[in-house]
């Protein structure tokens, strides 16, 4: 039997290796290489070795997985089902090794076999199942649920190509398929016996049953099958394992033989291609009618399969559909799974024969909804015509929910037509559209924001009237990150320093980071802290040289903005300040300028032309700045292509400055801000999202806040979007805009960025121009602090010391106690390394 990870044999870093366990693991890897891959060691490629090692590790995980399942079923425990269109899980190999406590053993075993663990790690592609913070949060939450021993299932889609692979060609973003499954996926287990029928289109008939009650019968026009693939998610120290179940789409009949035999070979497989398109790409371009329909089909496909699956599991263990809310908590991660409200009602009423009122109470008690944005375009709406064509029964359910809901609205605010229009599930203003955010709100017993400010703004903005109608439903659950990946794996040097300073217990209890505060001003410790950061910066500089061909100085200030490219995240403000700084250095080359490297990374949605133009501007500015001898290398600009989890794991530990500069009131939370601060970067940011809570925890003196606050943004927008008043008062800003507009960075096409210059002058919706001077001055304050080296280091140490609250374990524990009503393992019960070695 394979060596399993448990508290008794957990192998902490630097502990003496168990020679018997080491021999057993080497044998297991070679066995998998021979019998699982079909290769002899002498002929095996690095990828063969990676897959053999991953399969050997998976065997050990499966034992814990099956035991976790048995324990939760035997105990009759309530389960959490986390529905998310994104799961940005990244590479799993070293993550699972670390959590299972087998990283030192596998490292030694592979070394004895003549292969390096780091080389094998690079063979694993990033699982391209997410776009950014939303998907990465879901991955952190799954890991924390396993760590806290909460029985849980994650549900999503097994995309063939994920989002896209970003290539930068002549400064422009180009999108290509990300073939992350090209060599197979050793972590997943296909469940060919777990198949559900998902229906689309057709028509609905109504008849009275024997009791005179109306019964709906949906005759669909199309059937797609959902096939399950399971990936184990390992909790810290391997004590509990949960499943991430992803659905792949296929047609019930892969080939129409009669059509094929007529010679119409494409027609014989057209229905299969239509079905499989559901799981081809994450977020297909929705500019076309076909793209919008595919997005809706994706969302219903995974919601329907997931609900069918969890209800089947519930009935097998509990037997009573009416007890669903007591045994299952379903969390909707943003608006994408909102169709769970109507689908659960359809299943309860149409398939299980429950009365509408009873079904509605079960639905509300089972579902809860996380809102991630205040942006209107992200609160999805679907044209009624499209909804009716794809999901006719669900539109009927929407109408009935809305009828009862509007009756309550009339009771609460009699005669107030505007109030009813505001809370209605159907937006009648610009074509009739179904409001999915409203549907999720009405159908859930709890709605949470993801930072204190965001949750407060939800009550005042997008859900103001719904909050009035259903008071007490909105709560806050500030996001968190898993320290296992974003500290222990991403930054082993800092982790070793923390273990030596705070004690081994810091691996289990993040609150032990507070012990660092006593060393923040210690010269010797500061030097150790700087040494760790410098080694990380050297590693990033080496990667930039390899990928971008740009040589950078590791002693310069690494100024990092890594996130999805969007106007509200204001990469434009950053590059605009870069242009202003560039000209300031050229004007006064004799000044003692702080050497600075501006590092950007992130993807723009394929259809988001303006965001893609910003990427082009960043790269055009980089081309000029990086090749201008007049500034003597004191400013460099780098755009790193194809940003993903693995690239983040290299950039974040090397960052000195974390750019969190969104327009105030528009960022729900952010988690990159937490990861960077945890790794010792200082934050420059607005009072937006979780920046506020980071300021409150790390101290206002250890963060650089600038710009307007949310209410000031609202007030300025109300006065108009023209920014010529602030431009006139700001020579640096005026000069930067003129240069961009005149083609100083695009001599081959001087008018390329005219639309950007026009927006900065006349359509400053995101307050880029309005906030520029405040941002520019804050950056000069950063320069001054950087020159005072010990003060900068002290602030970085205090950022690390005060970040414990931002662990996703804390966030999940709050969900468990206050929304899901499920028990979780208290922090005090997490095994310490000393207990693990008993």
Q: How far apart are CA 209 and CA 489, in angstroms?
A: 60
Nearest Cα neighbor of 125 from 65, 85, 165 is 165
- Can you read off the two tokens belonging to residue 339? 């169709």
Judge whether 282 and 129 are in contact, CB under 8 Å. yes
Would you tell me how many other CB atoms lie within 10 Å of the CB of residue 187?
23
- Can you read off the two tokens belonging to residue 713? 């943004």
Is-catalytic flag, 569? yes
Among the listed residues 671, 686, 793, 811, the single catalytic one is: 671
Angle between helices 731-742 and 754-762 (to 10 degrees): 150
Would you tell me how many other CB atoms lie within 10 Å of the CB of residue 758?
12
CB-count exposure of residue 465 (10 Å: 0-12, 13-18, 19+): buried
Among the listed residues 512, 675, 732, 813, the single catalytic one is: 675
Burial call 547-575: b when 16+ CB within 10 Å, e when fewer: ebebebebebbbbbbbbbbbbbbbbbbbb
Query: 450 to each of 69, 102, 372, 475, 511, how far by Cα in Å?
Result: 30, 34, 7, 9, 21
Q: Quick check: helix, strand or coil at residue 67?
A: helix
- Can you read off the two tokens belonging to residue 39? 């290769």
Q: How far apart are CA 725 and CA 612, in angstroms?
A: 28
Is-catalytic flag, 616? no
Which of the 8 DSSP states describes residue 487? I
Angle between helices 772-787 and 731-742 (to 10 degrees): 110
Q: How far apart are CA 442 and CA 400, in angstroms?
A: 13
Judge whether 816 and 827 are in contact, CB under 8 Å. no
Q: Quick check: helix, strand or coil at residue 214?
A: strand
Burial call 668-699: b when 16+ CB within 10 Å, e when fewer: bbbbbbbbbbbbbbbbbbbbbbbbbbbbebbe
Give how far the C-alpha of residue 447 lies from the chain's centroid of Cα atoms, to the nearest Å: 19
Among the listed residues 364, 484, 563, 802, the single catalytic one is: 563
Q: How far apart are CA 210 and CA 217, in angstroms?
A: 15
Is-catalytic flag, 564? yes
Is-catalytic flag, 671? yes
Q: How far apart are CA 813 and CA 145, in angstroms?
A: 8
Q: Quick check: helix, strand or coil at residue 660?
A: strand
Return the half-sphere exposure (C-beta side, CA atoms, 13 A cut-off) of residue 595.
9
Question: For the CA atoms of 747, 753, 757, 760, what is the dihedral angle to 10 degrees?
Answer: -140
Q: Which residues contact 351 (CB under 8 A, 6 or more apart)?
A: none
Among the listed residues 569, 612, 785, 802, the single catalytic one is: 569
Among the listed residues 445, 564, 570, 598, the single catalytic one is: 564
Q: Quick check: helix, strand or coil at residue 448?
A: strand
Q: Which spans in 257-383 are helix H? A: 257-260, 265-276, 289-317, 324-327, 340-346, 356-366
Q: Which residues contact 353 (CB under 8 A, 6 or more apart)?
A: none
Q: How far apart are CA 236 and CA 144, in angstroms?
A: 8
Q: How far apart are CA 340 and CA 338, in angstroms?
A: 5
Residue where the block lists tokens 């020159």: 787
Judge whether 170 and 641 are in contact, CB under 8 Å. no
- Can you read off the two tokens belonging to residue 572? 């434009």
Is-catalytic flag, 231? no
Is-catalytic flag, 271? no
CB-count exposure of residue 24 (10 Å: 0-12, 13-18, 19+): middle
Residues 445, 451, 452, 458: is their CA dihedral positive or negative?
A: negative
Among the listed residues 91, 372, 596, 634, the single catalytic one is: 372
Query: 87 to each of 280, 284, 477, how far by Cα in Å?
Result: 15, 16, 19
Q: Which residues contact 294 (CB under 8 A, 6 or more apart)?
A: 277, 278, 284, 286
- Can you read off the two tokens belonging to residue 534? 């410098």
Q: Which residues are catalytic, by number?
A: 372, 563-564, 569, 671, 675
């Amino acid at each position: 039997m394979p060596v399993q990870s448990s508290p008794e044999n957990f192998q902490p870093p630097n502990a003496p290796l168990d020679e018997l366990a080491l021999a057993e693991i080497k044998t297991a890897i070679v066995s998998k290489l021979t019998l699982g891959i079909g290769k002899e060691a002498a002929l095996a490629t690095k990828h063969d070795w990676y897959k053999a090692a991953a399969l050997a590790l998976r065997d050990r995980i499966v034992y814990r997985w099956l035991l976790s399942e048995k324990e939760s079923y035997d105990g009759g425990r309530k389960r959490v089902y986390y529905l998310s269109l994104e799961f940005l899980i990244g590479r799993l190999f070293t993550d699972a090794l670390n959590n299972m406590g087998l990283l030192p053993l596998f490292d030694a075993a592979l070394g004895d076999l003549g292969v390096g663990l780091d080389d094998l790690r690079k063979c694993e592609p990033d699982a391209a199942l997410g776009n950014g913070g939303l998907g990465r949060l879901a991955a952190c939450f799954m890991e924390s649920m396993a760590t806290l021993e909460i029985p849980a299932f994650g549900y999503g889609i097994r995309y063939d190509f994920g989002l896209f692979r970003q290539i930068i060609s002549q400064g422009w973003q180009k999108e290509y398929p990300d073939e992350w499954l090209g060599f197979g996926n050793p972590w997943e287990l296909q469940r060919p016996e777990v198949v559900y029928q998902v229906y689309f289109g057709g028509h609905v008939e109504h008849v009275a049953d024997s009791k005179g009650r109306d019964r709906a019968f949906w005759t669909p026009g199309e059937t797609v099958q959902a096939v399950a693939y399971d990936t184990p998610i390992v909790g810290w120290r391997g004590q509990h394992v949960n499943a991430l179940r992803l659905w792949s789409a296929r047609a019930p009949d892969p080939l129409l033989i009669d059509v094929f035999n007529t010679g119409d070979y494409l027609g014989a497989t057209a229905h299969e291609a239509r079905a499989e398109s559901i799981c081809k790409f994450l977020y297909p371009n929705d500019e076309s009618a076909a793209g919008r329909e595919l997005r809706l089909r994706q969302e219903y496909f995974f919601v329907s399969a997931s609900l069918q699956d969890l209800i089947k599991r519930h009935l097998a263990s509990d037997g009573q559909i009416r007890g669903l809310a007591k045994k299952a908590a379903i969390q909707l991660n943003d608006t994408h799974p909102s169709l769970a409200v109507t689908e659960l009602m359809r299943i309860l009423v149409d398939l299980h024969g429950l009365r509408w009122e009873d079904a509605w109470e079960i639905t509300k008690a089972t579902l809860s909804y996380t809102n991630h944005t205040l942006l209107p375009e992200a609160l999805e709406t679907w044209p009624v015509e499209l909804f009716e064509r794809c999901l006719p029964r669900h539109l009927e359910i929407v109408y009935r929910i809305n009828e009862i809901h509007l009756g309550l609205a009339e009771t609460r605010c009699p005669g107030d037509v505007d109030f009813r229009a505001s809370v209605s599930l159907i937006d009648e203003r610009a074509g009739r559209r179904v409001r999915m955010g409203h549907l999720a709100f009405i159908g859930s017993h709890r709605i949470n924001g993801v930072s204190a400010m965001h949750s407060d703004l939800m009550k005042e903005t997008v859900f103001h009237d719904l909050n009035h109608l259903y008071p007490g439903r909105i709560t806050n659950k500030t996001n968190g990150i898993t320290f296992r990946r974003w500290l222990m794996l991403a930054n082993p040097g800092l982790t070793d320093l923390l273990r030596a300073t705070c004690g081994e217990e810091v691996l289990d209890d993040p609150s032990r980071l507070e012990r660092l505060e006593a060393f923040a001003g210690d010269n010797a410790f500061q030097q150790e802290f700087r040494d760790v950061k410098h080694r990380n910066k050297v590693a990033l500089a080496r990667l930039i040289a390899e990928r971008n061909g740009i040589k950078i100085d590791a002693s310069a200030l690494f100024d990092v903005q890594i996130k999805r490219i969007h106007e509200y995240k204001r990469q434009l403000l950053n590059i605009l300040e870069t242009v202003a700084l560039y000209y300031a250095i050229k004007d006064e080359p004799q000044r003692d300028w702080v050497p600075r490297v501006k590092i950007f990374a992130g993807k723009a949605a394929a259809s988001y032309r303006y965001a893609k133009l910003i990427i082009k501007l960043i790269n055009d500015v980089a081309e000029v700045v990086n090749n201008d001898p007049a500034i003597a290398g004191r400013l460099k600009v780098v755009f790193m292509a194809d940003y993903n989890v693995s690239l983040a794991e290299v950039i974040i530990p090397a960052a000195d400055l974390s750019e969190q500069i969104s327009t105030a009131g528009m960022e729900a939370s952010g988690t990159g801000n937490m990861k960077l601060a945890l790794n010792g970067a200082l934050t420059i940011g607005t009072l937006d999202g979780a920046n506020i809570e980071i300021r409150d925890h790390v101290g206002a003196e250890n963060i650089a806040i600038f710009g307007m606050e949310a209410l000031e943004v609202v007030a300025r927008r109300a006065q108009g979007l023209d920014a010529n008043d602030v431009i006139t008062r700001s020579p640096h800003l005026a000069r930067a805009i003129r240069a961009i507009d005149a083609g100083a960075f695009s001599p081959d096409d001087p008018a390329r960025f005219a639309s950007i210059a026009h927006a900065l002058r006349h359509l400053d919706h995101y307050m880029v121009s309005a906030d520029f001077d405040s941002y520019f001055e804050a950056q000069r304050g950063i320069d001054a602090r950087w020159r005072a080296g010990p003060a900068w280091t002290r602030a970085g140490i205090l950022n690390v010391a005060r970040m414990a609250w931002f662990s996703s374990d804390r966030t999940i524990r709050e969900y468990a106690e206050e929304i899901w009503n499920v028990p979780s393992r208290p922090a005090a019960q997490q095994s310490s390394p000393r207990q693990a070695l008993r």
